[in-house]
Amino acid sequence: MSAPVPINKTSNLSESFNQLNVNSSTSPNAVSTSPTNSYMDRLRPRASTLKSTKSLKPFSTGDMKILLLENINQTAIDIFKSQGYQIEYYKTSLNEDELLEKIKDVHAIGIRSKTKLTSKILKNAKNLVVIGCFCIGTNQVDLEFAASQGISVFNSPFSNSRSVAEMVIAEIICLSRQLSDRSMELHNGIWNKVSSKCWEIRGKTLGIVGYGHIGSQLSVLAEAFGMNVLYYDVQMIMALGTAKQVGSLNELLSKSDFVTLHVPETDDTKNLISYTQLAAMKDGSYLINNARGTVLDIPALIEALKIGKLAGAAIDVFPHEPAKNGEFFNNDLNSWTSELQSLKNLILTPHIGGSTEEAQSAIGVEVATSLTSYINEGASTGAVNFPEVALRGLDLDQENVVRVLYIHQNVPGVLKTVNEILSSYNIEKQFSDSRGNVAYLMADISGVNTDDIKLLYSRLEDTPYKIATRLLY
């Protein structure tokens, strides 16, 4: 196993955000979109009434330990270091045995797409309270089991959307002009200046399957290039620009010159595009998959390319991918790999849709901020597997106040039992919500002496249907 990577000494949290604001713009001359000065003038009188919030510390957990795998961006490390957390950092994923050992005493773990957090792994994570997926996808985590253990999971649904959308535009142009083939030929010394079956993208129709954060941004970019945009989604979603939603997947496939996939990995989306769907596509059209490897039936795609049904394709994700850079992508991973690699006008990339400096920096801030907020305040807003609960911060002048974070099975009678315990104190704020079989109660109670905290914790831990208890004070 590789040794952990030393962590750079870092700035405070506000500096991390300021650095992101300066460096992450995709425009060389970015213009502020803040409210006008006149509007801000009307807000200023209220600023003087705002109070600073109290920094809370956990009872019974000791120093917070975080395990970061797969080369998590420095912006996240900066945020965690500013909070005083202990960090162990690796540039790669760990094998199962290594992960079982490393995860057993950490309170939080940050991963990307390669690390698989199965129920077996999570059963060994006795202190784990939160998981951060520094990516969009969360299918690498057993979300239901994590929730049943009181482990909240956060991801980054927004931060790499622009990077993926731009890559799709690049692939559309490369496919329509056969740029990958011409480049490969010239690398091999072959001069082949042709215009046959090379097209402008202006006036062509782009079909987007999945009109979420990425699909909708792509829609706007495509229209700026003069493309017509259709989209299909299982939900009714308001269009951006002049895009039009169609009623069925087959309708989109039959009308589009380019089809691009942007859906999550679920049982419903497995082999969403297979032989039948490829047959429904226009002759000479193009297919792009930057979503998940299981969404596209690749043997079916190979056949469609071989017989000329499709003029080209671009694939960034695969059912089985190498665990780290430098490993071979070959038939040992997927039996059809060599056959796929032999095809023309086929762009193959190593899962790099969100791999830009801007996206990774923004993802680092987004996920690290969510994890820090959950660890320090209990706020689960944005969690993908958990009830979303949050309370406003405690004021600095609020003394002897404890924030109770109580995760329990979603069954009748639990709140009555818990409130009987809390009723010995003054309940200042309380919020509870449930999701499936798991419920989450957050309450701020005052009049709690330091000596009472241990007893309060013990009484909550002894309640039936308890999953996890945390006290912040």
pLDDT by residue (tens digit) across 375-408?
Answer: 999 999 999 999 999 998 877 677 789 999 999 9
Domain borders along the chain are 13-41+51-159+357-377, 162-348, 401-472
Report the mean per-residue pLDDT for the chain.
89
Q: State the catalytic residue, choosing from 107, 162, 262, 351.
A: 351
The tens digit of pLDDT for each residue in 252-286 reads: 999 999 999 999 999 999 999 999 999 999 999 99
**Among 107, 162, 292, 408, the one annotated catalytic:** 292
pLDDT, position 63: 83
Question: For this structure, is 321 an active site residue?
Answer: yes
Q: Which residues are registered as beta bridge partners of 66?
A: 87, 108
pTM exceeds cut of 0.85: no
265 annotated active-site: no
How many Å apart are CA 261 and CA 316, to the nearest integer? 11
Q: With bands split at pLDDT 50, 70 and 90, how would you rate the model's confidence at 451? A: confident
CATH fold group of domain 401-472: Alpha-Beta Plaits (3.30.70)
Confirm whether 13-41+51-159+357-377 and 162-348 share one CATH topology. Answer: yes
Residue 5: predicted pLDDT = 64
What are the tens digits of pLDDT across the range 210-262? 999 999 999 999 999 999 999 999 999 999 999 999 999 999 999 999 999 99
Q: What architecture is the 13-41+51-159+357-377 domain classified under in CATH? A: 3-Layer(aba) Sandwich (3.40)
The verdict on whether 351 is a catalytic residue reads: yes
Note the pLDDT tens digit of each residue in 341-388.
999 999 999 999 999 999 999 999 999 999 999 999 999 999 999 999
Residue identified by tokens 């059809």 is 336
- What kind of fold does domain 162-348 have according to CATH? Rossmann fold (3.40.50)
Catalytic member of 321, 339, 388, 428? 321
